[in-house]
Structure 1
Amino acid sequence: MSAGYHTSWTIPEAHRVDPAYVEAGAAIALGQAVYDRRIALGLDHATLAERTGLSLDDIERLEGGGTPPTLPLLRTLSAALDAKLDMSVESDDTHVSFVPHAA
């Protein structure tokens, strides 16, 4: 090997996981699950905001995928939506759903 050259290892594009992309995907999955459950309950944004203690803007941002999930937020949403949170997280994929409590 001549001077000035070195060996480098690169990760193939298909194996790269951008943390920002993963976080955005989780936020979008959460937003869709909140929207789906809110609609199933027949709630409007204002009612969900009241139930959670969040602002109307916060609820709209959340449903639009603009709010990354945190444990306190997930607990608050689960209680407000009268459902169990079902969430699976893999390295680059997140699935979220709210499962209604048994009657």
Structure 2
Amino acid sequence: MNHARWKLGRERAHAEGRTETPETEAMRTEIRMAFDLGQAVHDRRTELGISQSELAERANMTQPQVSKLELGGTVPTLPLLARLAKALDASLDIALDGDTSTVVFTAHAA
């Protein structure tokens, strides 16, 4: 499920007065966290002015894997996160607090 469909489904449920099951809420939290990470990767990549293909090469990935990651369609392993940070010439800070997450790539000093 992509982010737009997920958000639309949530808005419809609220408009109809339906409450979500705990399983649905947990799934939405996971999707939101994956989307936050993907957005941070996209933002840093575009800040560097590199293509998905170039990032893929730097991080030992394929371009489709980078695309899927940026769209929030995958949850990467810790080793992959380390490769991404290195490929993006940045440190990666992820803060998790209950149902919220903050993902920030901070550029290394020149």
Counterparts of residues 68-83 of structure 1 (less than 5 Å): 68-83=75-90
Query: Take 2:63 and 2:88, find their aligned partners in 1: how far apart are those partners?
Result: 15
Root-mean-square deviation (Å): 1.7
The structure 1 segments of at least 4 consecutive aligned residues displaced by more than 3 Å after TM superposition are: none
In proportion to residue count, which structure has more helix?
2
| CA displacement, residues 55-98 of structure 1 (integer Å, 9 cap, x when unaligned) | 11100000001011321121111011000001111110111010
Letter in structure 2 aligned against 1:89: L
Letter in structure 2 aligned against 1:61: K
Task: Find the residue that maps to 1:99 and give its secondary structure.
Answer: strand
The structure that has the greater radius of gyration is: 1
Query: Take 2:77 and 2:29, find their aligned partners in 1: how far apart are those partners?
Result: 14
Structure 1, unpaired ranges of 5+: 1-12
**Percent identity among equivalent residues?**
44
Letter in structure 1 aligned against 2:57: E
Aligned to 1:64: 71
Alpha-carbon offset, residue 22 of structure 1: 1.8
Alpha-carbon offset, residue 25 of structure 1: 1.2
Task: Find the residue that maps to 2:80 and give its secondary structure.
Answer: helix
Aligned to 2:39: 32
Letter in structure 2 aligned against 1:98: F
Aligned to 2:12: none
Aligned to 2:11: none
Alpha-carbon offset, residue 19 of structure 1: 2.6
2:96 pairs with 1:96 = no
CA contact (8 A) 1:26 1:69 kept: no
Query: Take 2:94 and 2:102, find their aligned partners in 1: how far apart are those partners?
Result: 6
Aligned to 2:14: none
- Whose relative contact order is higher, 1 or 2, with alpha carbons under 8 Å and at least 6 apart? 1
